[in-house]
């Protein structure tokens, strides 16, 4: 059967809400293959999602300028009208909203599809009743079916925005007007969803879903909603009845009014329409109301046409064919569109004519001119962009360079900015999506299409969030509706994660004891929210304070992160920091300012609980220091013992022997034995409790030292390191490492070497002796470091018959007596003992 047999063409005509598109989808799915062309990318995507649920994603394709999903086994195609692959032999073909053939800008595309788009078994043209005479003239044997509207559409008079019924859609005809109406609805009625043709499908679907779910009661849209987008709208209000059609400002035709108003009501539910003003150019006339309610529109008298299969033999022939006059009396030559204007400008360039000499290259030039001006920058700026694209398409491998493509995408991949900025980036991203979806314009189109799609998705999500933040204020509306000006009436609920809710609407979060106002609250609302929350959260804070007083030891913890103050935490919540106190072992517990909201008595009980916990933890983590603290306070201990113990406590268990040499030399054997029993090593160079060098006690020690200085915890060495490079983090005596030459050696290992040296000396008597070379090697000591250590122990190098170093005793070097620092507890003691020669 001839696929162009006009007996196979059916037109389904009627007003909105007649089920025309639903019928076409059903008919297509009943065939072995099919295709439908839609006027909007949004509508194509909506129907694609429906058909995928019926046929499966592996058999359904979506083709638009900026998006192509074409599985290998695809048999059903949902497309924008411009993107319909007419060369495919499919059983069913349909064109939706075919009356748009009368549109000056895009009409020639719809007219071309009316004339040339045919299915093998069935062709269906969907549109307004006004299209009937045009179809009869162009397709004489067409079968025309008229479908009545499912529900009644009636005029509901003019209503101010403040009096619009719920489930209303307000239609405006510019982005500025849409934003102004949405802002007014936010202030008066709590907000609105926003739908415009320039939105990506992802943003549009998110906004519509918000409206459909009842999160907002109002929708503000451009006339894009008139093109078959399905939404649960009860009333359509026109903010204006004039629009700029690309050439002039004009009043909507009655057919256009009806197309938009017809979105009200769905299936069997009746709908209403009206304006926002009763008089003036924004008001309906009685004749317009009657014609809309009765679905009576003047028939179309002409459609716009442009050659759908132009001549590619040369640029001149291409332009001539595109400007050719139509042969049929009901067809008018289409006004010059952007693509033809770009082509004419480029045709005047010598380099373009030089490159476009073959039919294939002329076709490639025309394809480049078809790149839509998504950014709406105008013909001249858009021409410069197309010229750059064509330069790449006409040289080398004929591919747009990846580096340029990637750089432009990266520039757009920025989710910061206001609504207008994000919308502009999405428009620009659509150009790159269009380029990526041309199969022969990039070396790896699938990869770059995915990259461009990901950028558009991120921008779309950000735009949805920005639109919602700007035009939706459910929380404050609910508050004002329930409580008026009295915040004490708020029904505050605290969720399990600390979220503060008013009837499931979050107004903030209780983070421990601090209430944080929701970040998306307007400045004008924050005072109300704070007042409401502060009045109602007192009981919860008191309950949490009492729970902190009763907290078990396992629920409390110390964090001693480098670069931060030592902090006490309750269930991972910072409740206090450690500050300088009477001694190292008794730092002051400074409660977090968030607890200022509690009573004085409760704060005192919390402070006592934290001090008791801290004392218990120190006793377990640093038992030696607790014993030494008792020694320094024991009046029965010798002065030397008290002095050594005080020095060790002041330095949290580690002190250089040189600093307290006189006191150490004054220790008698009984005192030395007592210190060893307390866990203190009296070493050749240092006195220390080896336990404070282990990771757990070392963390507590670092916290105590930071609290003593009122500073942040210092960066320590890596756990387990025995030798560090001098100057490395933690390579100081405060961290248990003694700098020696170019290295820093852990002090307990220094004592091992000292003991090994004295043991070897004892075995050899007065003879020179050698150390076990494996000892220094296992520690990672260099020879210069070892020599310096041995000199500090009182040994000097001796002659050796081989390369192994040998040592001999020369006596401990004299310890220089230096006055202690002025802020040391022994400064006063030194002044008192100096006259007696101690």
Per-residue tokens: 370: 């078809």
| Alpha carbon distance, N-terminus to C-terminus of the chain | 123
- Ordered structural domains, the chain, with CATH: 6-146 (3.40.50.300), 153-294 (3.40.50.300), 337-470 (no CATH), 474-536 (no CATH), 739-838 (no CATH)
Query: Averaged in consecutive runs of 10 residues, what is the pLDDT profile of the chain (838 residues)?
Result: 59 88 94 95 90 96 92 95 94 95 93 95 94 94 89 88 89 87 82 82 84 87 72 89 82 89 80 90 92 88 94 95 93 94 95 95 95 90 96 93 94 90 90 91 92 91 85 59 49 72 68 77 56 70 91 91 90 91 91 90 94 92 90 90 92 90 91 91 90 88 89 79 82 86 87 86 77 79 85 83 78 57 51 35
Sheet containing 92-95, strands listed edge to edge, beginning at the edge strand earlier in sequence: 68-69, 60-63, 76-80, 34-38, 92-95, 122-127, 9-13, 143-146
Q: What is the mean pLDDT of the chain?
A: 86
Strands (E), 584-694: 586-591, 654-656, 681-682, 686-688
Residue 191: CB partners within 8 Å, gap ≥ 6?
182, 185, 216, 218, 468, 471, 472, 473, 474, 477
Q: By C-alpha distance, which of 394, 352, 390, 349 is closest to 371?
A: 390
Residue carrying the six token digits 């000006």: 485
Residue 804: CB partners within 8 Å, gap ≥ 6?
770, 773
pLDDT of residue 326: 94
pLDDT of residue 810: 79
For 253, counting Cβ atoms within 10 Å of its Cβ (0-12 exposed, 13-18 middle, 19+ buried), the class is middle
Say how far apart CA 646 and CA 625 lie, in whole Å. 10
CB 747 within 8 A of CB 654: yes
Say how far apart CA 807 and CA 762 lie, in whole Å. 12
Residues in the chain: 838
CB 79 within 8 A of CB 37: yes
Say how far apart CA 634 and CA 631 lie, in whole Å. 5
205-213 contacts, C-beta under 8 A, 24 or more apart? 205/45, 206/460, 206/461, 206/464, 207/464, 207/467, 207/468, 210/468, 210/472
pLDDT of residue 838: 26
Residue carrying the six token digits 């490492």: 737
Q: By C-alpha distance, which of 104, 108, 142 is closest to 126?
A: 142
């Amino acid at each position: 059967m001839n696929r162009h047999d006009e007996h196979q063409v059916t037109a389904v005509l009627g007003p909105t809400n007649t089920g025309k598109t639903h019928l076409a989808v059903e008919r297509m799915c009943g065939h072995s293959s099919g295709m439908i062309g839609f006027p909007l990318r949004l509508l194509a995507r909506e129907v694609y999602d429906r058909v995928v649920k019926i046929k499966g994603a592996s058999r359904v394709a979506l083709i638009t300028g900026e998006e192509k999903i074409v599985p290998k086994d695809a048999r059903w195609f949902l497309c924008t009208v411009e993107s319909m692959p007419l060369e495919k032999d499919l059983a069913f073909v349909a064109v939706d909203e075919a009356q748009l053939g009368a549109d000056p800008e895009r009409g020639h595309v719809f007219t071309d599809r009316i004339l040339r788009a045919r299915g093998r078994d069935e062709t269906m043209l969907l549109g307004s009743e006004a299209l009937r005479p045009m179809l009869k003239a162009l397709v004489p044997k067409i079968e025309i079916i008229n479908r009545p509207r499912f529900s009644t559409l009636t005029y509901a008079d003019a209503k101010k925005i403040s009096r619009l019924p719920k489930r209303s859609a307000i239609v405006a005809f510019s982005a500025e007007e849409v934003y102004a109406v949405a802002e007014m609805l936010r202030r008066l009625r709590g907000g609105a969803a926003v739908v415009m043709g320039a939105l990506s499908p992802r943003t549009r679907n998110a906004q519509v879903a918000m409206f459909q779910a009842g999160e907002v009661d109002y929708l503000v849209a451009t006339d894009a909603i008139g093109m078959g987008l399905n939404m649960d709208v009860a009333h359509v209000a026109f903010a204006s009845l004039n629009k700029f059609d690309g050439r002039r400002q004009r009043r909507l035709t009655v057919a256009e009014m009806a197309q938009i108003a017809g979105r009200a009501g769905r299936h069997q539910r009746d709908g209403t329409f009206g304006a926002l003003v009763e008089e003036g150019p924004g008001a309906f006339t009685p004749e317009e109301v009657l014609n809309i309610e009765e679905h009576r529109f003047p028939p179309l008298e002409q459609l716009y046409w442009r050659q759908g299969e132009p001549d590619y033999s040369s640029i001149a022939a291409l332009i001539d064919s595109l400007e050719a006059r139509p042969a049929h009396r009901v067809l008018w030559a289409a006004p010059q569109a952007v693509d033809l204007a770009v082509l004419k400008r480029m045709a005047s360039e010598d380099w373009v004519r030089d490159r476009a000499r073959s039919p294939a290259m002329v076709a490639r030039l025309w394809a480049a001119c078809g790149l839509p001006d998504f950014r709406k920058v105008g013909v001249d700026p858009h021409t410069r962009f197309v010229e750059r694209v064509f330069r790449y398409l006409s040289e080398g491998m004929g591919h747009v360079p990846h580096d340029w493509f990637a750089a432009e995408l990266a520039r757009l991949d920025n989710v910061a900015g206001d609504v207008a900025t994000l919308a502009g980036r999405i428009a620009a991203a659509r150009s790159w999506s269009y380029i990526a979806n041309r199969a022969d314009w990039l070396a790896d189109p699938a990869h770059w299409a995915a990259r461009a799609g990901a950028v558009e998705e991120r921008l779309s999500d950000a735009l949805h969030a920005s639109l919602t933040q700007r035009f939706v204020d459910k929380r404050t509306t609910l508050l004002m509706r329930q409580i008026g000006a009295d915040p004490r009436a708020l029904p505050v609920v605290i969720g399990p994660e600390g979220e503060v809710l008013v009837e499931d609407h979050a107004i903030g979060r209780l983070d421990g004891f601090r209430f944080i106002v929701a970040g998306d609250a307007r400045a004008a609302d924050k005072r109300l929210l704070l007042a409401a929350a502060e009045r109602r959260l007192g009981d919860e804070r008191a309950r949490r304070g009492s729970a902190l007083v009763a907290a078990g030891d396992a629920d409390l913890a110390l964090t001693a992160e480098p670069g931060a103050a030592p902090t006490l935490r309750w269930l991972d919540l910072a409740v206090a920091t450690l500050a300088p106190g009477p001694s190292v072992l008794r730092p002051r517990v400074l409660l977090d300012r968030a607890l200022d909201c509690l009573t004085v008595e409760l704060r005192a009980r919390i402070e006592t609980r934290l001090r008791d916990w801290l004392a218990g933890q120190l006793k377990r983590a640093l038992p030696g220091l607790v014993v030494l603290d008792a020694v320094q306070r024991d009046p029965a201990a010798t002065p030397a013992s008290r002095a050594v113990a005080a020095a060790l406590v002041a330095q949290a268990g580690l002190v250089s022997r040189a600093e307290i040499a006189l006191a150490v030399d004054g220790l008698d054997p009984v005192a030395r034995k007592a210190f060893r029993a307390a866990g203190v090593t009296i070493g050749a160079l240092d006195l220390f409790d080896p336990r404070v060098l282990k990771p757990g006690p070392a963390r507590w020690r670092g916290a105590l030292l930071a609290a003593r200085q009122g500073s942040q915890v210092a960066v320590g060495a890596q756990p387990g390191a025995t030798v560090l490079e001098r100057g490395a983090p933690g390579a100081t005596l405060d961290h248990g490492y003694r700098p020696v030459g170019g290295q820093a050696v852990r002090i307990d290992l220094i004592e091992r070497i000292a003991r090994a040296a004295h043991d070897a000396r004892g075995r050899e008597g007065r003879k020179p002796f050698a150390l076990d070379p494996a000892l220094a090697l296992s520690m990672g000591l260099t020879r210069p470091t070892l020599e310096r250590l041995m000199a500090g122990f009182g040994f000097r190098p001796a002659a050796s018959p081989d390369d192994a170093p040998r040592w001999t005793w020369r006596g401990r070097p004299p310890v220089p007596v230096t006055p202690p620092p002025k802020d040391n507890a022994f400064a006063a003691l030194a002044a008192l003992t100096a006259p007696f020669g101690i």
